[in-house]
Amino acid sequence: MPTRQAWLTRNVRLLSAVSFLQDAASELLYPLLPIYLTSVLGAPAAVVGAVEGAAEGAASLTKLASGPLGDRFARRPLIATGYGMAALGKVIVAAAGTWPGVLAGRVTDRLGKGLRGAPRDALLVDGIDPAARGRVFGFHRAMDTFGAVVGPLFGLAGYELLDHQIAPLLWVAVIPAVLSVALVFCVRERARAVPTAARPPLLSRVRDLLGATGG
């Protein structure tokens, strides 16, 4: 049975801390954005659904590409780009004075989420005993969930302490997001052989997938 020291590696700890910080930042915004959009920016209620729908749709699309990209290229730069886009998205949201600006920020944020997921998960278990991979993912998901709990609590507490001012909290969310990007650069990636065999273009694979699901 693998010992704790064998599976709780430097990369596992760092990537788990990255996910904690990024999820805390994202979930800090989550309960506040509907209020900000409707009460501060004066957007109609339908815009709230449109913003989140577009953001999650963007994340789903980039997930199709993130796995193949992580197989063919170095993973750490992809992870850093994904978390960097998420941090940039939060800056755009905080600086936006209109709901289209918030939409642009949320889409940028979620594009980063879709890009980073598969390469991060692959790097998490790189060099880990297969018997311990469940523990690695369990620890990582626990830290991710912990961030998702801390973020809204901090956001709602700040909302009350700041007399229901939301704009300052949008900038507060940028801080853990930027810290998460900085931590990614401390992650180590082992050199590995990149497959050179010809593979069908991504667009062809997407068409095949859509054709299979469409019957």
pLDDT of the chain, 215 residues: tens digit per residue: 555 568 899 999 999 999 999 999 999 998 899 999 999 999 999 999 999 999 999 999 898 888 898 888 899 999 999 999 999 999 999 999 899 999 999 999 999 999 999 999 999 998 888 999 999 999 999 999 999 999 999 999 999 999 999 999 999 999 999 999 999 999 998 876 655 544 555 555 555 545 544 44
CA distance 137 to 199: 29
With b for 16 or more beta-carbon neighbours within 10 A and e for fewer, the 64-98 pattern comes to ebbeebbeeebbbebbbbbbbbbbbbbbbbbebee
Q: Is the pTM of this model over 0.75?
A: yes
CA distance 27 to 38: 18
